[in-house]
Structure 1
Amino acid sequence: MRETLAESLKPTRQRVLLTIILFIGVFVAYMDRGNVSVLVADPAFLNDIGIAGNPVKIGLIMTSYLVAFGLSSIIIPPFVSFLGPRKVMVLGIFVWAISLVVGATAFTFTSILVSRVLLGIGEGVSYPQSAVYIKNWIPPQERGRANTGWVVGQSISLAVTTPVIALFIALSGWRESYWALVVLAFVPMYLFWAHTSDKPRDHKKVNRQELEYIEAGLSVEVTSGNEPRLGYKERFFVFAKEPRYWLIVMWFMLMNFNSFGIQTWLPSYLKVIRGFSWGQMGFLASLPFVFLMFFKIGTGWITDKVSRNSVVRVLSVFSLLAAACIYGAVITQNNYVSAVLIALSYALCGMGNAVIFVLVQDIVPAKVVGSAVGFLTGSSLLFASLSPVIMGYAIKLGSYGAGLFVLAGASMMAAVITFILTLPRFQKCPENLGFGSV
């Protein structure tokens, strides 16, 4: 009886379960997103849909996804936010499951584009809901680790995707890889529907102690539960008046431009330009995501230990290092060194993903965080959608190096923007928490 009473007085850990479910959702989403990077290195896939020898169309496969993701992230979340993150998340997963069915049955370039557009819409709707969940469930002092907990799923997923999809292609074919992903999509759909709620107060398994702990942490933020529902324009202007938000958006645009250029073309670059075999390519193409996983974990831990301003300074330095790595990868004659340098550049670009959501959650009121994150991810991916097709044109003209140098330039510009964020004028924050005070 005493043990039972003692256990009842301990806070439950449902917020930890939530971050695990978010991790699983992102893991599956990024497998769906990343499979095309492996498929475009498969001659059978390219021949079946009629784009063999056409790098521009290959680039458009990823670009179409990014455009759809970007537009849906900006436009749709404000109109479905009244449903709550749980229902919106499940709806988005259902749409991306349909997209995978379309991909599995595709025979033309157009049908693959339709599949990628549907995937972009489904993931664009659901992705911002992760930030809403974190804002509703996680106290500010735990958000660095919580955001890392689900964002690191991106890196692990992409690291796993390359060898797994390559194995499916080798054993069965590219269509079978699509069908496997269709089945996998139902796992996060079930978990979000059956084991999460929009807010901790609505969850049956959250006890009083955990609820009090969460709400005490959330109480430091200026929120009001009695404010009228805002329309799209009103939501936009709530976060649009914050200059730091726009600097964060520009930084995220540039780093995603770099990341998606590498993510789309790295397998082909390693196989065609650097001459690696399928087996070697599968291993080396997963290195960026392995590196990124560890970088994100470290960044999330540091974010909760030091000031936000210090973290932003680190991101500025790492953006410069990302540019240097790309330059070194192009000029080196050693194929393995080139592969490792590109992997490091990708990891240095992506390590700020967990931090960027913490920064937005710090400066944006809870009532518009979903719209703010949706606009952030949407606009950044719309800009990043140019990267795969620019790389495609560069390849068509006969040079991977020119495309990679464009990515290096984007990283250098990102370093300048993050440096601006550390200037004293951006540390003054009359509302919310502010970068310098956390």
Structure 2
Amino acid sequence: MFKKYRWNIVLMLFLGNALNYVDRTAMSVALPILNKRFELTPFESGLILSSFFVGYALFNFVGGYLSDKVGPKKVMGSAMVVWSLFCGLTAGAYNFVSLLIVRLFFGFGEGPITATTNKTMNNWIPVKERATAVGICNGGAPVGGALSAPIVAFASLAWGWEATFIILGVIGFIWALVWWKVSADKPEDHPMVSKEEVAEINAGRIEIASTEPTASAQVKVSLLSIIKQKRIFALLLGMFGYNYTLFFFLTWFPTYLVDARHLSIKEMGFAAMIPWIAGAIGQLLGSIIIDYIYRKTGKLLFSRKVVLVTCLMLAALCVGLTGFVNDVVSAVSLMTVGICFLYLQATTYWAIIQDIVPRDRVGGTSGFIHAMANVSGILGPSITGWLVQTTGQYTSAFVLAASLAMIGALAVAFFVNGPKVPKNQEVIV
């Protein structure tokens, strides 16, 4: 299976997502150093972390929409160039305002990656492999997070935090050059993809060009009519809860370990890496479990929902309990289990979109849901900073993240539905 050319695309997207999270998480890991350098308050630190998500959320939608219109190859390559540029420019920041501005534009660059990855997978991967492929691609995120914590911590101490961001920017430019060489918008556009592989990718597709399962396959629908659906809003709530919890961990957990659990920067680098490793394992296992359930039951949407709802609830429980423990071992252990469950269900949102949305609207719908869900990234870090500064502790921040995740899981459980697809047949989306 992995000898097919399409797995080269999956590999590149895995590496791209890994670099995305190394670059993104680098600020969170370096933040305890920057707090001292620029004398930042907890609320100012929260604003810097939130500023990334302003640009990021906006370009989730813009990138997804453009991937439908101009193709994922151009969007992904351009996004990598932009975010790598501003990753490097972070080294030139000299105060609170400059950090805020650079992080805003850095978010613009990173915004398109997830929706564009989803669009690329929809073009390149047959349904029987899709959840696994998306899981591998998105599995780069926790791998990148795991690598970022120790690498950025040690590099910042050894060479200075400025050098770390410059090096990461250069690596991004190298990835972009390779991407332009090896990728294409669709398999039929690539000279190294055989006709047999193209046929395998496209075999068994069933058009869903309408929002209603029983409607004619030839009816075209607008993006607006799709995103107004109740099931799309429920899926958005689920992703909002997931993202809020993930971004709370990504942005504040390293500082929590230093501030509340009194770890050194080196110790924090190792401790913060452990949950990310569990997340990487969970990402891949979740995709395998989803495809296994689908093969056994023939129920496409059920295979996604049962994993999403169960794992998101368990993640919420672990994160909420973390706020009440009093030692670093318990905190890291609970967050490790929680992040594992969080990533076990991470693939499901993108798979569900592909199951229930017409093919020519996958990028735009993915971008819209991702953009709205990532408002959590704008609000969450600032709210966390305000809660910590106001209460002097992190307990309420953990409880809030857990509550939002639980609400999202319940919304998906009760309101997300879709067309019934016979076993071994694919939805073209």
TM-score, normalised with respect to structure 1? 0.88
2:214 maps to none
Instruction: Report the AA paired with residue 94 of structure 1.
Output: V
Instruction: Report the AA paired with residue 418 of structure 1.
Output: V
For the pair 1:399 / 2:393, whether they are aligned, the reply is: yes
For the pair 1:61 / 2:32, whether they are aligned, the reply is: no
For the pair 1:121 / 2:108, whether they are aligned, the reply is: yes
Secondary structure class of the residue paired with 1:353: coil
Distance 2:200 2:11 in 1: 19
How far the C-alpha of 1:261 sits from its partner, in A, is 1.0
Instruction: Report the AA paired with residue 299 of structure 1.
Output: G
For the pair 1:191 / 2:178, whether they are aligned, the reply is: yes
RMSD over aligned Cα, in angstroms? Answer: 2.5
Instruction: Report the AA paired with residue 368 of structure 1.
Output: R
Query: Of the two, which has the highest radius of gyration?
Result: 1
1:6 maps to none
Equivalent positions of 1:63-78 (< 5 A) are 63-75=50-62, 77-78=64-65
Distance 1:314 1:132 in 2: 22
1:33 maps to 24
Equivalent positions of 1:349-368 (< 5 A) are 349-368=342-361
Cα-to-partner distance string for 1:289-310 (whole Å, 9 max, x where unaligned): 1111111111100111114314
Structure-2 change in CA distance of 1:141 and 1:76 (3 Å): closer
Secondary structure class of the residue paired with 1:220: strand
Structure-2 change in CA distance of 1:98 and 1:305 (3 Å): same
For the pair 1:412 / 2:409, whether they are aligned, the reply is: no
For the pair 1:220 / 2:206, whether they are aligned, the reply is: yes
Secondary structure class of the residue paired with 2:206: coil
Point out the more displaced range, 267-276 or 137-146: 267-276
How far the C-alpha of 1:122 sits from its partner, in A, is 0.9
2:331 maps to 338
Secondary structure class of the residue paired with 2:79: helix
Distance 1:152 1:371 in 2: 22
Cα-to-partner distance string for 1:241-296 (whole Å, 9 max, x where unaligned): 54322211110011111111121111111112112233321111112211111111
Distance 2:145 2:284 in 1: 16
Q: Which runs of 5+ in 2 are unaligned?
A: 211-216, 294-298
CA contact (8 A) 2:28 2:254 kept: yes
Instruction: Report the AA paired with residue 35 of structure 2.
Output: L
2:371 maps to 378
How far the C-alpha of 1:356 sits from its partner, in A, is 1.2
Secondary structure class of the residue paired with 1:265: helix
Structure-2 change in CA distance of 1:418 and 1:81 (3 Å): closer
For the pair 1:267 / 2:261, whether they are aligned, the reply is: no
Instruction: Report the AA paired with residue 116 of structure 1.
Output: R
1:153 maps to 140
How far the C-alpha of 1:421 sits from its partner, in A, is 4.2
CA contact (8 A) 2:156 2:164 kept: yes
Equivalent positions of 1:176-325 (< 5 A) are 176-217=163-204, 219-222=205-208, 235-306=222-293, 307=299, 308-325=301-318
Q: How many corresponding residue pairs? A: 412
Cα-to-partner distance string for 1:152-203 (whole Å, 9 max, x where unaligned): 0001000000000011111100000011111110232012200010011110
CA contact (8 A) 1:102 1:111 kept: no
Structure-2 change in CA distance of 1:361 and 1:388 (3 Å): same
Cα-to-partner distance string for 1:13-40 (whole Å, 9 max, x where unaligned): 1111110011111111111111011111
Distance 1:254 1:433 in 2: 31
Cα-to-partner distance string for 1:381-425 (whole Å, 9 max, x where unaligned): 113321111110111111211111111211221231232147xxx
How far the C-alpha of 1:11 sits from its partner, in A, is 11
Distance 1:24 1:326 in 2: 28
1:22 maps to 13
How far the C-alpha of 1:79 sits from its partner, in A, is 4.9
Structure-2 change in CA distance of 1:161 and 1:123 (3 Å): same
Distance 1:421 1:162 in 2: 38
How far the C-alpha of 1:346 sits from its partner, in A, is 2.6
Structure-2 change in CA distance of 1:433 and 1:19 (3 Å): farther
CA contact (8 A) 1:11 1:208 kept: no
1:173 maps to 160
**Which ranges of 4 or more aligned residues in structure 1 deviate by more than 6 Å?**
none
Cα-to-partner distance string for 1:35-71 (whole Å, 9 max, x where unaligned): 01111121xx2344x243x011101112111121101
CA contact (8 A) 1:102 1:112 kept: no
